[in-house]
Structure 1
């Protein structure tokens, strides 16, 4: 019996990932929804993955592909760390991700961001989209929800923001994307990396900011 045509079609995936640098550190954020087409396969996924002591990967696209890249890069970063006797620079880890992504660009479907902090260059954000490009930026976003955020982040981001302001910006960006993109949702996960260390936060869905157009009469959420 012939298989239906839809069985030969790769599954669509969706995500919202955001990273913003500020003086003294960097803030990463991601939603937690994993979807396969219109089916939500995981409501509480963790898309923020540590690669080294102070460098993390934000994953969007195929979960299997990006998890495999993370595993390989983490291994090579650990080997490099042993050789150096210290944690590798964030730029080195970002270059490892780019190399893995570019050398397998015909097979991988993953748009990723590498972000972290080191004493040499401070807070850093590197966009690594599908195809293997690597670009350092003050902020970037990717995934299906990113299409709703470019104008907002371009307008709201400032290079002199405090840690608290940057965390608020990333949280607001995730909330906006999750309200608009059907493939983004669940909880918001935040990671802040600075000279003081790494901290993680989880913001439940009912604690996220709500836009005015999501409110009905008398402030009822619709």
Structure 2
């Protein structure tokens, strides 16, 4: 039986290939995503998937959503790709200027406040959710969450993005304070992998960054090596 499409004028047209409109080019590009961060004694571990989408179209399957802002400071981006990239660019410029003016590296809190100020000032215009995480000499490892609206909250561990709704149970069950670096890395990578298996807006590979006084260690779990989970 032929399927019919009712257009705006009320005319019925068959679903022919030439009548199908691919509108992903007119859809805002989004980092509908899974973000994860956890603090350990000596630093923090942050992780994210790598899928960027425009509607149902995957525009980039290897996006790096862990964006460096300054020495030892990263932000994890979710929301509108254009908005998050621009906020990160502006904050990176501000922190670089701050470093030259103050003759010292900025702290994680200063980076988080800079992000929060922009997100709050333009809260009606931006679709941005950020985690700012890193290590500095004053407070050690820190994670700050900046959700839509511009609130700033320090947390020992946090997850966000569209995929986070699928892994809150895992997050609440498995998180504990005092984890080692490798335990945190396992906690974060497994959480992102679980979300990739369930969330259609999360996918690709798993990117991790371990930030401590020794610097930044980047890890990558390629797409074909991401663990698959099944209830069967």
Q: TM-score, normalised by structure 1?
A: 0.90
Query: 5+ residue gaps in structure 1?
Result: 216-222
Would the alpha carbon gap of residues 9 and 187 (structure 1) be closer, same or farther in structure 2, given more than 3 Å must change? Answer: closer
Partners of 1:174 and 1:12 lie apart in 2 by 18
Structure 2 counterparts to residues 3-18 of structure 1, below 5 A: 13-18=31-36
Q: Which residue of 1 aligns with 2:147?
A: 129
Partners of 1:8 and 1:186 lie apart in 2 by 23
Partners of 2:169 and 2:104 lie apart in 1 by 39
Q: Name the SS of the counterpart of 2:116 in structure 1.
A: helix
Runs (4+) off by over 3 Å: 6-13
Alpha-carbon distance, 1:151 to partner: 2.1
Would the alpha carbon gap of residues 12 and 188 (structure 1) be closer, same or farther in structure 2, given more than 3 Å must change? Answer: closer
Q: Which residue of 1 aligns with 2:39?
A: 21
Contact preservation (8 Å) 1:23, 1:159: no
> Larger C-alpha radius of gyration, 1 or 2?
2
Alpha-carbon distance, 1:121 to partner: 0.8
Q: Name the SS of the counterpart of 2:93 in structure 1.
A: helix
Equivalenced residue count is: 211
Q: Name the SS of the counterpart of 2:38 in structure 1.
A: strand
Query: 5+ residue gaps in structure 2?
Result: 1-7, 9-20
Q: Which residue of 1 aligns with 2:170?
A: 152
Would the alpha carbon gap of residues 101 and 36 (structure 1) be closer, same or farther in structure 2, given more than 3 Å must change? Answer: same
Partners of 2:135 and 2:206 lie apart in 1 by 21
Q: Which of residues 115, 128, 149 in structure 2 aligns to 1:97?
A: 115
Alpha-carbon distance, 1:86 to partner: 1.6
Partners of 1:60 and 1:12 lie apart in 2 by 8
Residue 197, structure 1, aligned to residue 199, structure 2: no
Q: Name the SS of the counterpart of 2:177 in structure 1.
A: coil
Q: TM-score, normalised by structure 2?
A: 0.86
What's the RMSD between the two structures over aligned residues?
1.8
Q: Give a deviation string over 1:173-202, Cα, whole Å, max 9, x none.
A: 010000000010001110000011111111
Alpha-carbon distance, 1:127 to partner: 0.6
Partners of 1:165 and 1:8 lie apart in 2 by 42
Alpha-carbon distance, 1:11 to partner: 6.0
Alpha-carbon distance, 1:210 to partner: 2.4
Partners of 2:88 and 2:60 lie apart in 1 by 19
Q: Which residue of 1 aligns with 2:59?
A: 41
Contact preservation (8 Å) 1:25, 1:122: yes
Q: Which of residues 80, 83, 91 in structure 1 aligns to 2:101?
A: 83
